Structure 1
Amino acid sequence: MKRGTTLFLKIAVILMGVPIFAICIFLVPDIGRFAAELYPEFTFIKYLVWIDMYAAAIPYYLALYQSIKLLSYIDHNIAFSQHSVNGLKNIKRCAIAISSIYVVGLPLFYLIAERDDAPGIIVIGMVLIFASMVIAVFAAVLQRLLQEAINIKQENDLTV
């Protein structure tokens, strides 16, 4: 396969990281300060919000890196290899980690939504959890299919 065939997908993966980076720089500090304003008796709540949101960004970027590695495997014609299976496994783990981080941080969303009287904040938190779990299940299915394809390919190589 030619090296440039997955260039569009690599650019799309990189562009997926740009908005999250902007959110981490510009929006997350404001959300933390807003939470601290809502609960002036608990000034440490802004640090909990920051930890929750920045901690979720780390596995997100790790998953994007694994996606770029998968695309480079496709470019180098080694898509049906154990490296690809391991990459999908890492993406699955990252998605589970993101979901777990937001599950742990959901009480913070609840506290902010209760004080601000904005139930949509809880819905946003639940959508993030659900989307991460969907990605984890999808990566697990792809991982299993790829592993089975590799096994079939190895059996065919042995019989020929």
Structure 2
Amino acid sequence: MKQVSTSFLKLVVMLIGVPAFVLGVFTLPKIALKAIEEVQNGGELGYIVLLTLLIMYISAVPFYLALFQTIKLLGYIDSNQAFSDLSVVALKKIKNSSKIISCLYLLALPFAYMIAEWDDAPGLIVIGLVIMGSSLVVAVFASVLQRLLEEAINIKSENDLTV
């Protein structure tokens, strides 16, 4: 039963990566081409859009790193290594990746505000806040799990020494 649930979670994690991949490969390049065209026509907004897209592409690296570490963590659970230093390291990498994503989107919010003002699209700011907030929640959750796991490993090692 445990392997079925972890296999399901692995599938869900992979499916989370698919929309981000599609966005990065198909949608964002079209936006970049329009921004470059805007820059060539003398518009300053194109630079802001390109900088925002650059931040989005940079944030894809820690995003996929966190997804990969999540799959590794589920693999550790499958192989009965959940209470190991490997799991702690994976949670630490997930936490750090989530912090990086949150910081990058915090940097992008002023640019999103400028784009939203120009395009009269306040929903763009909300999208940035949701991404930033959700990655911050993941970072806090991973931090709590990391601390709990470290304490459980310490208790387990103390129990192993007393027996």
TM-score by length of 1: 0.91
Q: Matched residue of 1:44: which SS?
A: helix
Return the letter of the residue paired with 1:102.
Y
Give 1:5-154 correspondences, 5 Å limit: 6-33=6-33, 40-42=42-44, 43-154=46-157
Return the letter of the residue paired with 1:86.
V
Return the letter of the residue paired with 2:92.
K
Deviates more, 1:69-78 or 1:30-39: 30-39
Q: Is the 8 A contact 1:3 1:75 kept in 2?
A: yes
Deviates more, 1:22-31 or 1:68-77: 22-31
Q: CA deviation at 1:6?
A: 1.9
Question: Percent identity at matched positions?
Answer: 55
Moved beyond 4 Å, runs of 4+: 1-5, 33-40
Unpaired segments of 5 or more residues in structure 1?
none
Q: Is the 8 A contact 2:49 2:111 kept in 1?
A: no
Q: Matched residue of 2:83: which SS?
A: coil
Change (3 A) 1:111 1:132: same
Unpaired segments of 5 or more residues in structure 2?
none
Distance in 1 separating the partners of 2:108 and 2:47: 14
Pairwise CA RMSD:
2.0
Q: CA deviation at 1:35?
A: 5.1
Distance in 1 separating the partners of 2:57 and 2:5: 33
Distance in 2 separating the partners of 1:38 and 1:107: 20
Distance in 2 separating the partners of 1:33 and 1:120: 22
Q: Is the 8 A contact 2:62 2:98 kept in 1?
A: yes
Change (3 A) 1:94 1:151: same
Distance in 1 separating the partners of 2:48 and 2:58: 15
User: Is 1:155 matched with 2:154?
Assistant: no
TM-score by length of 2: 0.89
